[in-house]
Structure 1
Amino acid sequence: MVGVKYLTQLEKEHETRKVLLSLAQSIQERDIVTYEHSRRVAVYAQRLARYLGWTRREARNLALAAMVHDLGKTWIRNDILNKSAALSSEERRMMERHPVVGARILIGCDVPPFYVETVLYHHEAWNGNGYPVGLKGEEIPLSARILSVADVYDVLTSQRPYKAPLTSREAQERLLKSVGTHFDPKVLDGFIHLLKIKPHFTLPQHVCSISTQAQAEPKLYSLIAGGH
C-alpha cells in the first residue's frame, strides 16, 4: 500500500514537471528574452537554495518555479514589455500584475501551492513595500525570497532595452543597498558569499533558438537537475 502511494506521488510530481516545462516552452515561444532570463534565474535560485541547505529535490522544485516566475508577462503587450523609455503609471500597473496573472495560470493548471506562491510573491519586499500583496519579512515564503534575489541579480547583470549590464561587482553593490529593505538579509548574505567564492558564477547572456517541445523539455530539465 505504501509502495502504491509512493508511486502515485512520483506520478504527480512527473505530471507537475511536464506542465511547468510546457509553460516554460510557451514563454520561449512568446518572448525569448524573458525565457533566457528565467533560465538563468532558475540556475541562480537552485544554487542559492542548495547553499542555504535545501535538498536537491527542493532546489530543483524551486528551479522549476523560477522557470515560470515571469509567466504572466506573456500576457503583456510587446510595446510595454520591450519599452526602452520609462513606463507610465498605467503601464507600470499593468506590468506589476504579472505575478498575479502567472499565479492564476498555475492555479488553472492545478499545480501544487508551492509553485503558485513562489510565483505570486517573488516581487514582495522584506520591508513590506513590494507587490502584489505587500507581505513583510518572513510572511513572504522563503522560496519567493530566494527567487527575488536571483531575479534582481540577473536583471542587473543583463542587457535590457533600457539599460546596459552591470558587472558582478557593481550588481553586488546594488543588491547590498537594498538589504533589509527589499531583500531578506540572510538570503542576500548567502548569495553574496556564493558570488565571492565562485568567480564564474554569473551565466553568460545569450539567446538560443526555439526548439520543439519534445526537444526543449529534456534540455530544460537536465539544466536544472544538474545544478549544485
Structure 2
Amino acid sequence: MSETTPLSFFEEDVTEEINHGIRVSNLAYCVAKELVLGEARCRELALAGMMHDIGKLYVSGYLYGRDKDTLKIEEMKYVRLHPRLGYDELMRLDFSDFVVESVLYHHENYDGSGYPENLAGDQIPLGAKILRVCDVYAALTSDRPYRSAFDSDTAVELMIDEVKNFDMKVFLAFQRAIHEEEWQEKWALPGLKVRITEEETI
C-alpha cells in the first residue's frame, strides 16, 4: 500500500473479507469432518476456505472503497472473474490441485447455473461443493452494508429455498455441522475478528 493512501479507504471492506474467509474456513473444516473426510483433506478444505476469495484482490476497484449500491451488470462481469483469478494466483504459489480446484469452482451451482464454467452435479469437485454451501451461509449470517445478518434458522430457510444450488449430501452434512453445540458456541464468539493496522500494511 502506498504511504499516501488513506487506510480508511478500504480497511473496513478488506477486514470483513478476512473475517468472512475465517468463517468459511472453520465451517468447511467442520463439514468435511461430517463427511468423514481424512484429516489432511479437512485441513485442505480449511485452507481453501480461507483463500477462496483471494481473486477479489484483483477486482478490488469494483468492491472496495466505493459506494455501497448494487453492482452494475458490467461491473458484475468483472467481479465474476475472481474465482479464475484466485485459481491463477494459487497455482502460481504451488497450492495443491484440490485447493485450487475448490477455489476455482466455489461459485458453481449443482443445477449448472453457476460460474465460471456452468458445471453441474458430479462435474463439480467435492471441495467446491463444500465451499459453496459454507460461503453462502457465512454471507447470510454476516452484516452487509445493505442489511443486517440473518439468524442461523432464517439463513438455512433461505438456503433451502435455493437448495437446487447445493449437493444434497453436502447440504445435509452442513446442517448437521451447524447444529452441533460445540459449533454453535464457536460461531457465536464475538471475538472472532481480525483488524488491519496501518503498521501492518506498510
Provide the TM-score with structure 1 as the length reference: 0.74
Is the contact between residue 18 and residue 194 of structure 2 (CA under 8 Å) also seen in structure 1?
Answer: no
Structure 1 residues 164-203: aligned runs within 5 Å: 164-179=148-163, 181-198=164-181, 199-200=184-185, 202-203=187-188
Is the contact between residue 34 and residue 176 of structure 2 (CA under 8 Å) also seen in structure 1?
Answer: no
Does 1:208 find its partner at 2:194? yes
Q: Which amino acid aligns with 2:21?
A: S
Deviations 1:171-199 (A, max 9, x none): 010111121x1111111111112223334
What is the distance in 2 between the residues matched to 1:76 and 1:70?
11
How many residue pairs match? The answer is: 185
Match in the other structure for 2:132: 148
Q: Which residue, 14, 17, 34 being the options, matches 1:31?
A: 14
Does 1:115 find its partner at 2:117? no
Q: Which amino acid aligns with 2:50?
A: M
Structure 1 residues 121-136: aligned runs within 5 Å: 121-136=105-120
Secondary structure of the residue aligned to 1:76 is helix
Deviations 1:61-82 (A, max 9, x none): 1101111100001112345346
What is the distance in 2 between the residues matched to 1:207 and 1:78?
24
Q: Which amino acid aligns with 1:48?
A: V
Q: CA deviation at 1:83?
A: 4.5
Is the contact between residue 112 and residue 119 of structure 2 (CA under 8 Å) also seen in structure 1?
Answer: yes
- Root-mean-square deviation (Å): 2.2
Is the contact between residue 83 and residue 161 of structure 1 (CA under 8 Å) also seen in structure 2?
Answer: no
Q: Which amino acid aligns with 1:149?
A: V
* CA shift in 2, pair 1:132/1:173, >3 Å: same
What is the distance in 1 between the residues matched to 2:135 and 2:104?
14
What is the distance in 2 between the residues matched to 1:174 and 1:126?
16
Q: CA deviation at 1:161?
A: 1.4
Secondary structure of the residue aligned to 2:106 is coil
* CA shift in 2, pair 1:112/1:197, >3 Å: closer
Is the contact between residue 125 and residue 183 of structure 1 (CA under 8 Å) also seen in structure 2?
Answer: yes
Q: Which residue, 36, 39, 44 being the options, matches 1:56?
A: 39
Does 1:162 find its partner at 2:146? yes
Deviations 1:106-137 (A, max 9, x none): 11122221111010000000000000000000
What is the distance in 1 between the residues matched to 2:176 and 2:33?
13
Is the contact between residue 38 and residue 66 of structure 1 (CA under 8 Å) also seen in structure 2?
Answer: yes
* CA shift in 2, pair 1:48/1:83, >3 Å: farther
What is the distance in 2 between the residues matched to 1:43 and 1:60?
10
Is the contact between residue 125 and residue 134 of structure 1 (CA under 8 Å) also seen in structure 2?
Answer: yes
Q: Which amino acid aligns with 1:41?
A: V
Unaligned runs of 5+ in 2: 1-10
Unaligned runs of 5+ in 1: 1-27, 214-228
Is the contact between residue 62 and residue 79 of structure 2 (CA under 8 Å) also seen in structure 1?
Answer: no
